[in-house]
Structure 1
């Protein structure tokens, strides 16, 4: 996680430096109806998906509670629970994984916006990208209370740091019992019963922090500086997402992070959010005094999303990418993103936009 977040910090620092260096003179455009409508549409888009995120998180929390109830009925004896209710437990874990994916994907759809806006960026650390307190930077600043009364101090982000490893058995320390979930007569990695206490606490936290995000997003007053900052901060992270894809089981075939689905699915959501912010909220500003530059930036976003969409479609169709090809695709995506950001910074300077660190 830290590489991605470090990249975000580097992107902000680079943006500030480039913006200062450009010093482009020009008429500063006042807010137009198109810009105001665009900013409002970005906020509404984010709130709509945030509401779906909350709804899915609540369903996930209920599903985990049902799983925990089975374990509790057997006095916390996972072996006894499995012996008595193996079919129900297997179905429940399948349901939990399906709901987790639906919940995570709702967040990924808005992550490119949430993580780039200074007023809401902290929620990205908590929900999806922050490090545990053992790291020196980009720490998710929250504690996780558990039903048994324990409190985990700064445990890391909820989606990829806690719940995904928990629900898919990626962290052996959290596996309570290895079992044959699919009934094929053998036990493979990820076939297990997970820690119900941690699952309940983490699922409840997903609901809690999704609601907190909704409150702060509702209070956010859309503005030009935040819109530019969001795009400049998040678009250059694409190469690191490709790096995470390369290191996942979808390329390396080794169980590690990001096992629930291909990281490319997340990239589509995140970069789609960046595109939404530019096309809706920033394009009216840029086009007002440089239509050619605006079109170049739009073309860049289309090229970037097309590359990700094509790569993901090939993967889903059965293409097995090697590490060298994954690297090449990541470098290509990064080159496009850097080119787009350079142009957005040019437009920011022309319109006296402040990129917030």
Structure 2
């Protein structure tokens, strides 16, 4: 999620809390119930541990492909002609590892992106833009390649590796026509990655996954962290639906978006909301001390929002191709639901005296 969007959300929250204080704010219970947030950390560590393993598999496969390219002196035409099956096998293994790793991260993105001390990992791993496209929300790193090239702020690492592996970014792809199935048509995914880009991206992704795991182990969640993650990450539906609208899942061959074309953003949203449900479950006992009915409404709202997205995803999986206009309409509905839920959570944070990080 972009920093500008987070800033806008925090302003909206401040205004909302001000409005709530001007109307009716539930009175906090004199004897507070201490929240046990161990479940949040345990859940996060389960995901970071799994991501480290999947990223290592991606790194191993990327290095195998790099070795094949290196043996061909990085002559990709020769590689394709002489080691086609080996190259396809290495790329396929790397793709499978990527498809495993990406959802693992999405399941913890709500916590990582919504926690100020961890949020930079979200920018660099999954949400950050390329520096030449959006300097304000760009990643923090330059990608240094083994051949001496440097790609300044190339975009987030899941995006770099996805677009290299499936050929959606020409700058990350080898200059060779690779007709994988031999039907005479170059179709989506029929490409060879630039081995230097793929290796550097996979190596850095594995490194950052390990660093995130270390940071997560050192982190002790607070009530402020939990409520901040919820109020920052729940109302991001319009952003995710816009990305889905612009992807191949809606636009097909007309899409010019280089990432989020392999796994539908509808699946990502469900994973993110699943993580946020874990977070809310840990603070719900505190909310119940203020307003049990409101506590249940928030839980129901989160569950219904995820079900709403799941229904759209099932239709997509069953072959329905939504139009961009339909995607916008559905995104607006999801955003309205998310905004209402966030208002309730923000009100409860205010009633409990829990500060929200800016």
Q: What band does the TM-score fall into relative to the shorter chain?
A: over 0.9
Aligned position for 1:190: 189
Matches of 2:31 and 2:62 in 1, distance apart?
Answer: 50
Distance 2:136 2:295 in 1: 35
Displacement, 1:175? 2.2
Q: Distance in 2 between matches of 1:211 and 1:174?
A: 24
Q: Secondary structure at the match of 2:83?
A: helix
Give 1:31 deviation, angstroms. 6.1
Could you tell me how far apart the structure 2 residues matched to 1:266 and 1:29 are? Answer: 40
Residue equivalent to 1:154: 153
Question: With CA pairs under 8 Å and 6+ residues apart, which has the higher RCO, 1 or 2?
Answer: 1
Task: Determine if contact 1:49/1:107 at 8 Å carries over to the other structure.
Answer: yes
Please name the residue that 1:262 is paired with: 264
User: How far did residue 313 of structure 1 move?
Assistant: 0.9
- The residue that corresponds to 1:334 in the other structure is 335
Aligned to 1:277: 279
Query: 31, 35, 42: which is aligned to 1:44?
Result: 42
Q: CA 1:329/1:71 → structure 2, altered by over 3 Å: closer, same or farther?
A: same
Structure-1 separation of matches of 2:7 and 2:345: 17
Secondary structure of 1:137's counterpart equals: helix
Deviation at 1:327, TM superposition (A): 1.6
Aligned equivalents of 2:140 and 2:117: distance in 1? 14
Structure 2 partner of 1:235: 234
* Alignment pair present for 1:325 and 2:326: yes
1:163 maps to which of 161, 164, 173: 161
Partner of 1:312: 313
Superposed displacement of residue 91, structure 1: 2.0
Residue 59 of structure 1 corresponds to which residue in structure 2? 57
CA distance in structure 2 between the partners assigned to 1:229 and 1:100 by the alignment: 29
- SS state at 1:180 partner: coil
Q: Residues 115, 28 of structure 1: CA spacing in aligned structure 2 closer, same or farther, 3 A cutoff?
A: farther
Q: Is the 8 A contact 2:139 2:155 kept in 1?
A: yes
- Which runs of 5 or more structure 2 residues have no equivalent in the other structure? none
For the residue of structure 2 that corresponds to 1:321, the secondary structure is coil
Contact 2:223 2:354 in 1 (8 A): yes
Is contact 1:238–1:271 with CA below 8 Å preserved after alignment?
no
Aligned-pair RMSD on alpha carbons?
1.7
Runs of 4+ in 1 over 6 A off after TM superposition: none
1:144 alignment counterpart: 143
Q: Answer whether contact 1:16 1:355 (CA < 8 A) is retained.
A: no
> How much has 1:55 moved relative to structure 2?
0.3
Encode CA deviations 1:300-338: one digit per residue, 9 max, x unaligned. Answer: 111101101111111111112122221221111111100
For the 8 Å contact 1:19–1:348, the answer to whether it is kept is no
Q: Is the 8 A contact 1:243 1:327 kept in 2?
A: yes
Question: Are the aligned partners of 1:112 and 1:273 in contact in 2 as well (CA < 8 Å)?
Answer: yes
Query: Under a length normalisation based on structure 2, what TM-score does the superposition of the two structures give?
Result: 0.93
Distance in 2 separating the partners of 1:336 and 1:79: 52
Partner in structure 1 of residue 170 of structure 2: 172
Equivalent pair of 1:127/1:158 in contact (CA under 8 Å): yes
Q: How many residues align?
A: 350
Equivalence for 2:79: 81
Q: 1:243 to 1:299 in 2, by over 3 A?
A: same
